[in-house]
Amino acid sequence: MKVAVVCEHNPSMDTEEGKKAYPEGMNECLADVFREAGCEVTLLRADENGVHGLDETVLESAEVLVWWGHWYHHKVSDELAGKIADRVHRGMGMICLHSAHKSKPFLRLTGTSGSLKWREDAEFERLWCVDMAHPVARGLGEFIDIPEEEMYGEPFDIPTPDELVYIGWFRGGEVLRGGCVFRRGRGKMFYFNPGHETYPTYKLPAVRKLLAQACEYVAPKAPVLEKLDCPHIPEFSIK
């Protein structure tokens, strides 16, 4: 399977906390999740200058696009967001991680603001599985514990998910629809809330297993269409 991983690099990753969480770089940690699952991974960087390397060739060959972004959503062009949304509608799978709920591709595909409550306070999060028969949750039990995470809470301005797999609960009492599947055209998009850049969430074995299974689930089961065509409606007149 061909997977393209877009991971933003921002100044938080260069702090002492960021380097401690991911000394190899969070981008490499994420890419390794899918490499270890046997995927062919293209790793791409996003920063204050936009997304580097996500050209037509890479996008059109990707079966799954993984997107992690935080600081620089506004640096992603509307044109690229439109191309990504079009490819999802044609059948490509997508995984949006953590602050990608405010990314242009996510907003384009959901049609909402993506706004939510948040608090950066290294809080314990328990992800409760509400659909244990779902392929994304296979073998992961009733819940996944994350020792430190940024709090994301309801109200979360997203459409009603087509499939709700996990609800996150935080020590402060907040909850979030934190593991959601959205079906768009022939494609599927999975949103997963954990993954702040200064906490080593993506090193947790359960999270890595979940992401690998999410990739398998959203991957197209048939070839991605080259284009979307509307059937021609012949002209007619009413007499």
Please name the residues in contact with 134: beta carbons below 8 A apart, sequence gap of 6 or more: 163, 165
* Rounded distance between C-alpha atoms, residue 176 and residue 154, angstroms: 5
Structural domains of the chain, ranges and CATH numbers in brackets: 2-112+180-218 (3.40.50.880)
* Rounded distance between C-alpha atoms, residue 233 and residue 124, angstroms: 56
63, 45, 76, 100: which is closest to 219 by C-alpha? 63
- Tens-level pLDDT at each residue, the chain (239 residues): 999 999 999 999 999 999 999 999 999 999 999 999 999 999 999 999 999 999 999 999 999 999 999 999 999 999 999 999 999 999 999 999 999 999 999 999 999 999 999 998 899 999 999 999 999 999 999 999 999 999 999 999 999 999 999 999 999 999 999 999 999 999 999 999 999 999 999 999 999 999 999 999 999 999 999 887 765 555 444 33
* Rounded distance between C-alpha atoms, residue 80 and residue 164, angstroms: 28
Tell me if residue 159 falls in helix, strand or coil: coil
